[in-house]
């Protein structure tokens, strides 16, 4: 496992450097920070509410991820295919798992940095009320797990796409469904079994417990398993490309 992680980290460092010199990455970060802040202070009117909770702030994260994560993952594989460098990458001494993990670690690293940039918001609000820091930590943990699962899904869809536009639109459409499916189930008069199925596949549904400050092992397991599943599917796509 150690050699695998070493090679994946080496690829991730190379990918992170490409993100650091990409104006799009900075634009994505600015969009996320503005969207979540406007959601909290303008739409939710946080400053006029007599409550010491950031649940409304973290509730905006799944919505923002619908656009942010496709923006991060769209170039990972689709750009490699467009420029023809994917053939060179596949001939290098990296296993399928190395490549999938390397791409994932770099994309997830960008997302983690963006989430870290939101820390000034809760830190600046803590002196204004009796916030439960444990709840805030749980909310950030949930955001990271949600982001990991969505990033792995975005990378899988990027591997199936021929260009960045298709990768972005495809990932955004799928994330829109899996993020908001539970809201549709809640609003509609659906049979109980169908509602349960929709809630199970909805990423936002499994994030709700974290947004409430609750650490549910079932939701943790769901995010970890779906992350692993989409990474595995990514390796299968890579293997198919090698034998094509």
Q: Is 178 exposed, middle or buried (0-12, 13-18, 19+ CB in 10 A)?
A: buried
How is residue 42 annotated by DSSP? I
Round to whole Å and give the CA distance between 105 and 55.
Answer: 28
What is the CA angle 210-212-213, rounded to 5?
Answer: 65
The structural domain count of the chain equals 1
CB 142 within 8 A of CB 57: no
pLDDT tens, N- to C-terminus, the chain (244 residues): 555 578 888 889 988 988 999 899 999 999 999 999 999 999 998 988 888 899 999 999 999 999 999 999 998 887 777 776 776 777 777 888 888 999 999 999 999 999 999 999 999 999 988 899 999 999 999 999 999 999 999 999 998 888 889 999 999 999 999 998 888 767 667 777 788 888 899 999 999 999 999 999 999 999 999 999 999 999 998 878 665 5
Domain that holds residue 40: 2-243
Q: Is 191 exposed, middle or buried (0-12, 13-18, 19+ CB in 10 A)?
A: exposed
Name the helix (H) or strand (E) containing 47. Answer: none
Q: Is the pTM of this model over 0.85?
A: yes
How many residues does this entry show for the chain? 244
Distances in whole angstroms, Cα of residue 229 to Cα of each of 86, 113, 153, 216: 22, 24, 9, 20
What is the CA angle 213-132-210, rounded to 5?
Answer: 10
Name the helix (H) or strand (E) containing 170. Answer: helix 164-187
CB 138 within 8 A of CB 151: no
CB 130 within 8 A of CB 90: no
On the CB side of 54, CA atoms within 13 Å amount to 30
Task: Give pLDDT, residue 244.
Answer: 58
Q: Is 126 exposed, middle or buried (0-12, 13-18, 19+ CB in 10 A)?
A: middle
Q: What is the CA radius of gyration of the chain?
A: 19
User: The tokens 């070493």 sit on which residue?
Assistant: 6
């Amino acid at each position: 496992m150690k050699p695998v992680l070493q090679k994946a980290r080496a690829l991730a460092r190379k990918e992170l450097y490409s993100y650091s010199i990409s104006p799009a990455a900075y634009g994505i970060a600015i969009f996320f920070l503005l969207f979540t802040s406007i959601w909290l202070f303008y739409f939710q009117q946080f400053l006029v509410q007599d409550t010491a909770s950031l649940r409304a702030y973290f509730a905006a994260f799944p919505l923002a991820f619908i656009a942010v994560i496709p923006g991060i993952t769209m170039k990972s594989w689709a750009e490699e295919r467009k420029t023809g460098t994917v053939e060179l990458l596949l001939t290098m001494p990296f296993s399928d798992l190395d490549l999938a993990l390397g791409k994932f670690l770099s994309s997830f690293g960008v997302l983690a940095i963006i989430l870290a940039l939101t820390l000034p918001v809760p830190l600046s609000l803590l002196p204004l009320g009796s916030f439960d820091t444990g709840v805030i930590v749980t909310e950030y943990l949930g955001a990271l797990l949600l982001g990991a699962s969505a990033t792995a899904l975005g990378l899988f869809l990027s591997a199936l796409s021929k260009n960045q536009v298709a990768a972005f639109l495809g990932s955004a459409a799928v994330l829109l469904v899996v993020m908001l499916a539970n809201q549709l189930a809640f609003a509609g008069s659906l049979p109980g079994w169908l509602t349960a199925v929709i809630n199970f596949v909805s990423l936002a549904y499994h994030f709700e417990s974290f947004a409430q400050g609750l650490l549910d092992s079932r939701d943790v397991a769901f995010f970890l398993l779906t992350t692993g599943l989409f990474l595995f599917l990514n390796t299968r796509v890579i293997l198919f490309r090698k034998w094509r």
